[in-house]
Amino acid sequence: MDKTDQKIIRELQANGRLTNQELAERVNLSPSPCLRRLKNLEKAGIIKGYCAIVDQNEYGLPVTVFVRIKLQHHTEDAVMGFETAIRNIDEILECHLMTGDWDYLMRVVVASLEDYERFTRKKVHKIPGVAAIETSFAYGEVKRVNIFPAV
């Protein structure tokens, strides 16, 4: 990937609805080479898809929760079982494997504190091998961007 490919990606991260003509103008290419580069980025899996960025409050999910998980055991079966289970839980938007005292950090969105309690009791507690759960509620957002920094 070169600097032009990175420019294409950054422009699409800022506005995924750009026409090829608009995109080509913004990255100083003619439309045909721009489209060819875009298709190559998609084919290579660098661009994985396109989506709408939605206001979670307006959607009805105003509560953001960061959940740290510690597993009882770190066997291949335990890890795979946990990771398979969390992939099927809609409230979990992100799950990262971590270094340090906690094994995973998840970003969860729910409609209310009561919904978070239900989520924890009915979904997370039922996953075999979870040793500990630590929760932090976000009460504000300082920064959220979807555009990678230039490299």
Q: Residue 22 sits in a domain of what CATH number?
A: 1.10.10.10
Give the pLDDT confidence of 34-49 residue by residue, as tens digits: 999 999 999 999 999 9
Query: Do both 132 and 63 map to the same domain?
Result: yes
Model pLDDT, residue 95: 98
Model pLDDT, residue 141: 94
Reported as a pLDDT band with limits 50, 70 and 90, residue 24 is: very high
Give the pLDDT confidence of 94-134 residue by residue, as tens digits: 999 999 999 999 999 999 999 999 999 999 999 999 999 99
Query: Do both 24 and 80 map to the same domain?
Result: no
The answer to the question of residue 96 being in a domain is yes
Model pLDDT, residue 91: 98
Q: How many domains does the chain have?
A: 2
Query: Do both 90 and 132 map to the same domain?
Result: yes
Q: Which domain does 38 fall in, by range?
A: 3-43
Backbone angles phi, psi at 49, to 5 degrees: 165, -175
Q: What's this model's pTM, rounded to 2 decimal places?
A: 0.89
Mean pLDDT of the 14-39 span: 97
The answer to the question of residue 146 being in a domain is no
The answer to the question of residue 148 being in a domain is no
Model pLDDT, residue 7: 97
Query: Do both 32 and 66 map to the same domain?
Result: no
Query: Do both 81 and 21 map to the same domain?
Result: no
Query: Do both 86 and 118 map to the same domain?
Result: yes
Could you tell me what percent of the chain has a pLDDT over 70? 100
The answer to the question of residue 145 being in a domain is no
- Give the long-range contacts of residues 70-76, CB within 8 A, separation 24 or more: 70/101, 70/102, 70/103, 70/130, 70/131, 70/132, 70/133, 71/103, 71/104, 71/129, 71/130, 71/131, 72/129, 72/130, 72/131, 73/129, 74/103
The answer to the question of residue 51 being in a domain is no
